[in-house]
Amino acid sequence: MAAAARDLSLVSQLAVAGSRVPSLRKCGLHFLNKRRRPNFGFKVRAAVQLDSESENATTKPLEKTLGMDVVSEVGLREKGFMGLRKTKLVCTIGPACSSLCDLEKLALAGMNVARLNMCHGSRDWHRDVIRKIKMLNEEKGFSVSVMIDTEGSQIHVVDHGAPSSLKVEEDSIWRFTAKSFEGSRPFTVQANHERFSEGIEVGDEVVIDGGMACFVVVEKTGNDLHCKCIDPGLFLPGAKFSFWRDGKLVRRNHKLPTLTTKDWADIDFGISEEVDFFALSFVNHADSVEQLKNYLSTKSTRSIKVLAKVESLESLHNLKEIVQASDGIMVARGDLGVEIPLEQIPTVQEDIIYICRQLNKPVIVASQLLESMVEYPTPTRAEVADVSEAVRQYADALMLSGESAIGSYGQKALAVLEMTSTRIESWAREENRQSLLSQHQLGVSLPDRTAEQICNCAVEMANNLGVDAIFVYTKHGYMATLLSRNRPNPPIFAFTKEESTIMALNLHWGVVPFQVDLSDDTESSISKSIEFMKSKGLITRGDVVLVVSDVVPTRSTPIASQSIKVKTVV
């Protein structure tokens, strides 16, 4: 009875839509803006408690039980199996959303993974956020994974003499130096790396932040560059440099280490705080991924996944090896757009997503998805089209950066991702678009051919039969990822005992992790979990599920077997 009451209270919270503006405002959302854009239908679906007495959005505490996370559970009750969103959502946590109240609202609104960017904020600040997220998971039944994104090394501005942005006028002459200086010096910019100008020649172009301003090198004295502005614009704090010659990037970043001393300290911090993912910035070769994975296997008792961020030209040259070595990929379009011409980003994104699916690795599309929402309450049509494109390409996850970290409309931005992905996913099902992802495109054989074939066939069957859900029993999540790789119509419920498997699967397309006490006897595990879901009213008589199981040999039955079964709930 208590459980039912709890469920109902959550349903009503999740049902809150844009109409409840006053309570949202109370929690810090402001709907007025200097440049109001016409709203074209996106309403804030961020679910908050309608608690007029309290500043805090709070759900009733849930004791930690077996089952799925509270947001999927409520989603399933409200919208049914097909209504569950498949594309996962990652939010960067920054000062605009780091309070317990804001984190809870993001979790309720569908955040699957919280990303902490170690380029910003102190370790104490990040620790506080991680602990709040873990507390919300523990006490309120969410399942939000934590990702640490390393700083990595890249040549950028440390000081340009102004607290915020600095205007750069055409034909003005600037000195770029690695030497530090006291106070501000006009037209002098300090770079972070001593050898930042190594290999750079007179006549080369210096591009700031992928095109915010552009200079030509007119003189080089020692390591200092004297440059004339040929394309005026802005210097932002921490602006990134790239160097071009004859229309091509001068390839030099790969000489900087992917993992710096600070990154290793941040990694130790992440291990001690028991994070779920490390996203490794500026990976150029597979070896840095392997190095980190080896380190984690000796230092951490928990499984922590390593994602490689593809954001350099060098990484594109070594893409396949990097994907193979990693547990997943982030298409980090921000820095990638500094390193390759912008018009190449859409096709490169598509290629990366395709390779990741082939090699069965989850892939996140990141940066500037809804950039204008950092300032404005509605996205541009072009941004919605960009989000839709990533969903059509069947990326596993979409990521918010500044929109959630520093923006005024983080929850609205998350609601836009939620609604756009749900809409495009249902359109793709109606259009039968996953048939375009035909089996021959998945021709690359993975190490476990039997499991791969079972999962390919299972998804084909599930789609043809129109079953309500796919159930998979898995220890490390591998079978669930193989099913997800085929982008089936029904959701995939991944039943597992392991907490780390649940946290890792939060990033995979269409997978709803479900914690159970699996026994060695798979048949009895299947019956128990179906009974359990039935008792909670999550499945009802007549529902048809396709069950994929992977039975490991035991002393009593020394035979490994993988099977597909179709079960109808009676």
Ligand X SMILES: Nc1ncnc2c1ncn2[C@@H]1O[C@H](COP(=O)(O)OP(=O)(O)O)[C@@H](O)[C@H]1O
Block residue for tokens 């501005």: 157
Q: C-alpha angle with apex 207: 204 to 211, nearest 5 degrees? A: 145
Quote the least distance from Cβ 443 to ligand PEP, whole Å. Answer: 31
| Residue 197 or 315 with smaller CB distance to ligand PEP | 315
Look at residue 121 and give the partner it binds from K ion, Mg ion, ligand X, none, a contact being a CB closer than 5 to 8 Å depending on partner kind: ligand X
- How deeply is 282 buried, as exposed, middle or buried, from its count of CB atoms within 10 A (0-12, 13-18, 19+)? buried
| Rounded Cα–Cα distance for residues 194 and 56 (Å) | 48
| Residue 117 or 522 with smaller CB distance to K ion | 117
Q: Do the bridges between strand 205-208 and strand 277-280 make them parallel or antiparallel, or are there none, so unpaired? A: unpaired
SS3 for 415?
helix
If one counts every other C-beta atom within 10 angstroms of the C-beta of residue 283, the result is: 31
Quote the least distance from Cβ 12 to ligand PEP, whole Å. Answer: 36
Q: Rule CB under 5 A: is residue 148 a binding residue for Mg ion?
A: no
Look at residue 332 and give the partner it binds from ligand X, K ion, Mg ion, none, a contact being a CB closer than 5 to 8 Å depending on partner kind: Mg ion
Q: Do the bridges between strand 113-117 and strand 224-231 make them parallel or antiparallel, or are there none, so unpaired? A: unpaired
Q: What is the 3-state secondary structure (H, E, C) of 296-347?
A: HHHHCCCCCEEEEEECCHHHHHCHHHHHHHCCEEEEEHHHHHHHCCHHHHHH
Extract the tokens encoding 242: 């790239």
Q: Rule CB under 6 A: is residue 150 a binding residue for ligand X?
A: no
Describe the crossing of helices 100-108 and 410-430 by its angle, rounded to 10 degrees. 10
| Residue 262 or 302 with smaller CB distance to K ion | 262
**Strand partners of residue 544:** 568
Q: Rule CB under 5 A: is residue 417 a binding residue for Mg ion?
A: no
| Residue 366 or 516 with smaller CB distance to K ion | 366
Q: Rule CB under 6 A: is residue 97 a binding residue for ligand X?
A: no
Quote the least distance from Cβ 156 to ligand PEP, whole Å. Answer: 10
- Which residue of 49, 242, 281, 484 would you call a contact of K ion, by CB under 5 A? 281
Look at residue 367 and give the partner it binds from K ion, Mg ion, ligand PEP, none, a contact being a CB closer than 5 to 8 Å depending on partner kind: ligand PEP
Quote the least distance from Cβ 401 to ligand PEP, whole Å. Answer: 6
**Strand partners of residue 514:** 495
Look at residue 515 and give the partner it binds from K ion, ligand X, Mg ion, none, a contact being a CB closer than 5 to 8 Å depending on partner kind: none
Identity at 540, one-letter amino acid code: T
Distances from the Cα of 324 to the Cαs of 152, 356, 373, in angstroms? 21, 9, 35
| Residue 210 or 334 with smaller CB distance to Mg ion | 334
233 secondary structure, DSSP code: E
| Rounded Cα–Cα distance for residues 117 and 279 (Å) | 9
| Residue 105 or 487 with smaller CB distance to ligand X | 105
Q: Rule CB under 6 A: is residue 117 a binding residue for ligand PEP?
A: yes
- Which residue of 69, 73, 335, 396 would you call a contact of ligand PEP, by CB under 6 A? 335
SS3 for 472?
strand
- Which residue of 334, 345, 456, 567 would you call a contact of ligand PEP, by CB under 6 A? 334
**Strand partners of residue 493:** 471, 512
Extract the tokens encoding 253: 């970043």
Cα-Cα-Cα-Cα dihedral sign, residues 347, 352, 356, 362? negative
If one counts every other C-beta atom within 10 angstroms of the C-beta of residue 166, the result is: 20
Q: Rule CB under 6 A: is residue 232 a binding residue for ligand X?
A: no
| Residue 85 or 156 with smaller CB distance to Mg ion | 156
Enumerate residues 6+ apart whose C-beta is below 8 A from 28. Answer: 101, 102
Q: Give the x-and-dash track for 166-205 against ligand X (CB under 6 A).
A: ----------------------------------------
Q: Rule CB under 6 A: is residue 117 a binding residue for ligand X?
A: yes
Look at residue 422 and give the partner it binds from ligand X, Mg ion, ligand PEP, none, a contact being a CB closer than 5 to 8 Å depending on partner kind: none
Q: Do the bridges between strand 224-231 and strand 173-177 make them parallel or antiparallel, or are there none, so unpaired? A: antiparallel
Residues 327-366 that bind Mg ion (CB under 5 A): 332, 334-335
Number of residues lying near K ion (CB under 5 A) = 4
Q: Rule CB under 6 A: is residue 533 a binding residue for ligand X?
A: no
**Cβ 225 vs Cβ 212: under 8 Å:** no
Q: Rule CB under 6 A: is residue 121 a binding residue for ligand X?
A: yes
Q: Give the x-and-dash track for 130-169 against ligand PEP (CB under 6 A).
A: -------------------x--------------------
Q: Rule CB under 6 A: is residue 367 a binding residue for ligand PEP?
A: yes
Q: Rule CB under 6 A: is residue 333 a binding residue for ligand PEP?
A: yes
SS3 for 249?
strand
Nearest by Cα to 143 from 276, 12, 50: 276
- Which residue of 4, 21, 119, 560 would you call a contact of K ion, by CB under 5 A? 119
**Cβ 180 vs Cβ 219: under 8 Å:** no
Q: Do the bridges between strand 224-231 and strand 213-221 make them parallel or antiparallel, or are there none, so unpaired? A: antiparallel
Nearest by Cα to 85 from 75, 95, 74: 75
Q: Rule CB under 6 A: is residue 486 a binding residue for ligand PEP?
A: no
- Which residue of 4, 39, 56, 95 would you call a contact of ligand X, by CB under 6 A? 95
List strand residue ranges (DSSP E) for 458-543, in order. Answer: 469-473, 492-496, 511-515
Q: Give the x-and-dash track for 386-415 against ligand X (CB under 6 A).
A: ---------------xx--xx---------
Residues 282-311 that bind Mg ion (CB under 5 A): 311
Residue nearest to ligand PEP (CB): 334
Quote the least distance from Cβ 316 to ligand PEP, whole Å. Answer: 14
- Which residue of 69, 102, 104, 149 would you call a contact of K ion, by CB under 5 A? 149
User: Which residues are at the interface with K ion (CB under 5 A)?
Assistant: 117, 119, 149, 281
Give the footprint of ligand X on this chain (CB under 6 A).
92, 94-95, 117, 119-121, 334, 401-402, 405-406
Positions touching Mg ion (CB under 5 A) are 311, 332, 334-335
Binding site residues, ligand PEP, CB under 6 A: 117, 119, 149, 281, 311, 332-335, 366-367, 401
